[in-house]
Every structure is written in C-alpha cells, then in structure tokens.
C-alpha cells in the first residue's frame, strides 16, 4: 500500500519550530508531521469511541438543556435546584 499525499497550511511560527525539531532530531519534516497526525488521529479515535460507548449506555441521565438552565441560574435570585437524573 502506498502513502497518500496531502497538503496542509501551517503558521510560519509552527513551521519554524518544525524545522528546528527536524534539525535536532535529524528526521524529515514529513516524518514528524506524519507521526504527529497519526498520534492525533489515534487519540481522537479513542476518545470518540469512549463517548459513543457512554452515550449508548442505558441508565439515568440529565438532559443537557436542564443542566444548562441550572448552571445559568447560578448566582441569581432564582437559582434552580440541581436537576435530577431521569430514566432514558
């Protein structure tokens, strides 16, 4: 399987840091960028999978809107009580 080629735009400051890191590690910028993207994708994939699992779990939960209404009431004269979980 051959590698894919993509083009990315990065800020000049980041490019300078990448140049320096490539010099210090005696590795190409392409290798460093490829490894960085692979690491990022693995981390995001892991987090997304955990979020999907958590959302699929059966059990009580509090709707986001209820939590936000409660948080928005903090520090006001009409502060709401903490919302209670309801069954899914």
What CATH fold (topology level) applies to the domain 1-57?
Answer: Arc Repressor Mutant (1.10.1220)
pTM of the model: 0.62
pLDDT tens digit string along 19-36? Answer: 999 999 999 999 999 999
Go through 49-87 and write b for each residue having 16 or more CB atoms within 10 A of its CB, e for each that does not.
Answer: eeeeeeeeeeeeeeeeebeeeeeeeeeeeeeeeeeeeee
Written as six digits, the tokens of 30 are 């392409």
pLDDT score of 26:
98
Contact 26, 43 (CB under 8 A): no
Encode pLDDT of 7-21 as tens digits: 999 999 999 999 999
């Amino acid at each position: 399987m051959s590698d894919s080629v993509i083009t990315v735009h990065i800020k000049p400051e980041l490019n300078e840091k990448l140049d320096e890191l490539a010099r210090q590690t005696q590795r190409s910028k392409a290798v460093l960028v490829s490894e960085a993207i692979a690491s990022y994708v693995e981390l995001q994939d892991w987090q997304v999978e955990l979020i999907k699992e958590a959302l699929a779990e059966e059990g009580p939960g509090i709707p986001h809107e209820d939590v936000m209404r409660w948080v928005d009431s903090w520090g006001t004269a009409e502060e709401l009580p903490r919302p209670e979980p309801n069954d899914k």
